[in-house]
Amino acid sequence: MASRFYVETLGCPKNEVDSEKLVGTLLAQGLTATDDETQADVVVVNTCAFIEEARKESIDTILALSERRKKGARLVVTGCMAERYGDELRANLPEADQIAGFGVAIESGVTAPATAVTLGRKPGIALTAQPVPSFDLLNLPRPASRTPWAYVKIAEGCDRTCGFCAIPSFRGPQRSRDVASILREVDELQAKEIVLVAQDLASYGKDRPEELGAGSIVELVRQVSAKVPRTRLLYLYPSDLSDELIDAILASGVPYFDLSLQHVSKAHLRRMRRWGDGERFLKRIADIRSREADATFRSNFIVGYPGETEDDHDQLLSFVREASLDWCGFFEYSPEEGTYAVNLPDQVPAGLMHERIAELRELQDAITASKRDELIDAVVEVLVDEPGVGRSHREAPQIDGIIRVPTALAVGSFATVRIADAQGPDLVAEGADANDGSAQGADHAG
């Protein structure tokens, strides 16, 4: 019987894409997938190292899977933690048989090691020693999507130097993929909605000035939109949101703007080593709304970054009130090793951080609920993700709320429904079954 593998994915959508590529590679090499970790010959944990909490969850998961795996099964740790803390993990995690950073993917040893992956080794099968560059992982094939939507990662790494962020230090500088490889992946996925992701999406192409160049995200969005009914963009750094990009998004079938704002106080944004200020952001948002009344907005904010004063916090509260965004995620600042901010003075005490974030979340929850109430009686087009669950352009998969729809609607189809009720972040369409318990509405770090 073919060796079986089990993959557990933690962290962000970008990690899910990596996992799918690992799965695609292992399947191509003749292994079979299993949902039962106790039956797998190879157990892979794709970890997240975003903040302390994510690292703890990754370690807990590794240890739990190590306990549950069957005798002789290999445990492989990959993803951000493996990349960032590889040496420490190797020294302190004897449970893991292999720690594989992004440059070292997974190989069954069953066929020729063309992709040089070293994951599924069985006794007696030689490991391939040379790591492959992480860029190769980006361009590996993927199986058709199991859901009507799918993430597509268009670049890896980041060239910015935001004070709180360790990502560039372990994901490296930005490397944009070829347009042809992205479009091929879109075709392979056979999904109705493609969600483009990267660390800094709007910077796509800047690292390849000869072939692509700044602003090439616009043409890419147009080309992807020509292939699928819906193209959604996640994580837009606000300075690169050009008029052309706004036009391309408005024409993509998904007028949804995920703006990575992080704060609005100008002085504080400079401390964060970021661009912009609340006034500019409000102007841009108003401008987009004047072009498309149905435009939906999401953003993320960091609360309690060193030096955040009462005045900075008040500015953020006023902005949240005035901008009236559909969705917002608020995250407590977490000092990250190797970042600019880790040694800054004026660290905000934890108690104050909790108070500030609670105040912001309470305010935003009320705004989100009232925006959802306003949709009662509206007629919207949904994509049916699973029986009884759909999404319009206003809801990003796995991040925002959902729309409950009649279970008779076929998964993968588009349907036009009338909204009959709102329940917090979720909407209920006419004819939907009573509460089926599949509400989402979770925020995401991004």
Residues that bind ligand SF4 (CB under 6 A): 158, 160, 162, 165, 167-168, 199-200, 237
**Distance of alpha carbon 404 from alpha carbon 428, whole angstroms:** 5
Q: How far apart are CA 160 and CA 274, in angstroms?
A: 9
Residue (of 105, 101, 88, 104) closest to 337 by Cα position: 88
Nearer to ligand SF4, 161 or 309 (CB): 161
Q: Is 298 helix (H, G, I), strand (E, B) or coil?
A: strand
| Residue with Cβ nearer ligand SF4 (120 or 168) | 168
Q: Kindly state the smallest distance separating residue 200's Cβ from ligand SF4, in Å.
A: 5
* Closest CB 159 distance from ligand SF4, rounded Å: 7
Provide the token pair at 444. 């995401």
Structure tokens, 219: 């043409």
**307 or 446, CB closer to ligand SF4?**
446
* Tokens encoding 344: 């800054």
Cα–Cα distance, 329 to 425 (Å, whole number)? 13
The CA distance from 262 to 348, in Å, is: 16
CB 252 within 8 A of CB 230: yes
Min CB(16)–ligand SF4 separation in Å: 17
Smallest gap from Cβ 306 to ligand SF4, in A, equals 15
Rounded CA gap, 156 and 433, in Å?
41
Q: Could you tell me the two tokens for 194?
A: 């493609």
Q: Among residues 297 and 331, whose Cβ is nearest to ligand SF4?
A: 331
What's the CA gap between 372 and 334, in Å, rounded?
A: 31
Q: Would you say 115 and 23 are in contact if contact means Cβ atoms under 8 Å apart? A: no
How many angstroms separate the Cα of 109 from the Cα of each of 29, 82, 113, 120? 8, 21, 6, 7
- Nearest CA-CA partner of 232 in 320, 122, 154: 154
Q: How far is the CB of 158 from ligand SF4 (least distance, A)?
A: 3
**Rounded CA gap, 195 and 189, in Å?**
11
Q: How far is the CB of 237 from ligand SF4 (least distance, A)?
A: 5
Closest to ligand SF4 by CB, 16 vs 200, is 200
Minimum Å gap between C-beta 85 and ligand SF4 is 18
The closest alpha carbon to 43, from 57, 22, 24, 29, belongs to 22
Could you give the 3-state DSSP secondary structure of residue 299? strand
CB 254 within 8 A of CB 230: yes
Q: Which is nearer to ligand SF4, 140 or 167 (CB)?
A: 167
**CB nearer to ligand SF4: pick between 104 and 162:** 162
Query: Residue 11 Cβ, how far from ligand SF4 at the closest point, in Å?
Result: 13
Q: Name the residue nearer to ligand SF4 (CB basis): 220 or 269.
A: 269
Rank residues 77 and 80 by Cβ distance to ligand SF4 and give the closer one. 80
Shortest separation between residue 174's beta carbon and ligand SF4, angstroms? 9
